[in-house]
Amino acid sequence: MISRVLLVRHGPSSHVHDGRWMYHHRVREFEDAYDAASILHDSTPPDDLRRAAARADLLCSSDLPRAIASVERVAPGRAVAISPLLREIRLEPPRWIPVRLPIAVWDYFSHAQWSYRLRTRCDHEFVRRADDAIDWLEHNSPHASTVLVLTHAGFRRILAGRLIARGWRHAREKQSYAHWSTWELQHN
């Protein structure tokens, strides 16, 4: 039975954005290009993350290129269970905003929207996918104690929320959204 889950955000993306501001209907194009990219060639995970991966009983990853490249750098040569269930969420830019904005502002709107959804326990396809991902992790790790999951910032937040709803707790108070950051959850 899993007693510890390490939710790791991928390394920095190699996608190059020109900084152009965009209308809401162009956000999807940005996301498609971002999702197709790997990670920066010279980006290396921290040593403590590599050590944690070496001790993990099971490694899992999203099927997006930046997550796969990240897990390969975290634990070269190790077998990895890859699943689209661990993919990043899609931004949902408000369609009523008629002006171009930076992608960081569109991302901020998504973060605020998800803060509300998580607080009010709203049903959503990404929440259901997080539940499916947890079921998949449990099914694929019947003898694992520690599972390292290489995923993405937004989906990691939802996944952690669903684990907490199932009786898990954060091992540490402060949670970073930085690339290569790890959120450790333990089963109560």
What is the C-alpha separation between 60 and 82, in angstroms, rounded? Answer: 6
Whether 1 has a pLDDT exceeding 80, the answer reads no
All domains of the chain in start order, with CATH: 4-187 (3.40.50)
pLDDT value for 163: 96
**Residue 52 near residue 182 (C-beta atoms within 8 A):** yes
What is the C-alpha separation between 150 and 73, in angstroms, rounded? Answer: 11
pLDDT tens digits for range 17-75 = 999 999 999 999 999 999 999 999 999 999 999 999 999 999 999 999 999 999 999 99
pLDDT value for 29: 95
φ/ψ of 158, rounded to 5, equals -70, -40
Mean pLDDT, range 145-164, rounded to an integer: 96
